[in-house]
């Protein structure tokens, strides 16, 4: 096995670990830690064409969103990583996210995918761009209308 192959195996594991690391901090309600997976100038889009750029702005966006839940539980699966050079990669993974609202309303379940672009930084692999694409929701069906779909042929969420 050559050095390039070994490096790619290490990089693939680092990106996979980053995906799992992010969800650990989401479920612990530690937005301050969660956003560390983004590059300083990284950006995120939870739906439509509205992007939020910069780690501080992403934290300001996410913080009030997670405060409405007393508990969450996120699963990341079906991880695919493609390298686009030594310091750039893209990934796609499935997301299953359960949410328990603080106000006692019905639980909310999200079936989605993260589409990420990664860059190697001095901190390690960081997300340069994250797009959430949604296959469906339970418990808050009206939320599905504001998300970007996963791109099925019928273009339905």
pLDDT in tens, 74-111: 999 999 999 999 999 999 999 999 999 999 999 999 99
Confidence band of 157 (pLDDT split at 50, 70, 90) = very low
3-state helix, strand, coil in the chain (%, to 5): 30, 45, 25
Tell me the mean pLDDT in the region 47-56. Answer: 92
**CATH placement of domain 3-149:** 3.10.450.50
Domain ranges of the chain: 3-149
Residue 70 backbone zone (phi > 0: left; psi -120 to 50: alpha; other: beta): alpha
**Core vs surface per residue 21-32: b (16+ CB within 10 A) or e:** bbbebbbebebe
- pTM for this one? 0.90
Tens of pLDDT along 36-47?
999 999 999 998
Q: How far is CA 71 from CA 37, 98, 134, in A?
A: 21, 8, 21
What is d(CA 55, CA 65) in angstroms, rounded to the nearest whole number?
A: 16
Residues 61 and 47: beta-carbon distance below 8 Å? no
């Amino acid at each position: 096995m050559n050095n390039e192959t070994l490096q790619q195996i290490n990089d693939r594991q680092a990106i996979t670990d980053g995906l799992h690391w992010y969800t650990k901090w989401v479920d612990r309600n530690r937005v301050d830690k969660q956003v560390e997976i983004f590059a300083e100038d990284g950006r995120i889009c939870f739906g439509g064409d509205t992007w939020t750029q910069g780690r501080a702005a992403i934290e300001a966006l996410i913080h009030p969103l997670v405060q409405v839940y007393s508990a969450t539980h996120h699963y990341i699966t079906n991880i695919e990583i493609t390298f686009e050079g030594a310091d750039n990669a893209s990934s796609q993974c499935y997301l299953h996210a359960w949410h328990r609202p603080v106000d006692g309303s019905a639980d909310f379940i999200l079936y989605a995918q993260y589409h990420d672009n990664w860059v190697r930084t001095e901190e390690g692999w960081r997300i340069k761009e994250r797009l959430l694409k949604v296959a469906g929701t339970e418990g808050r069906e009206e939320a599905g209308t504001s998300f970007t779909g996963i791109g099925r042929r019928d273009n339905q969420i």
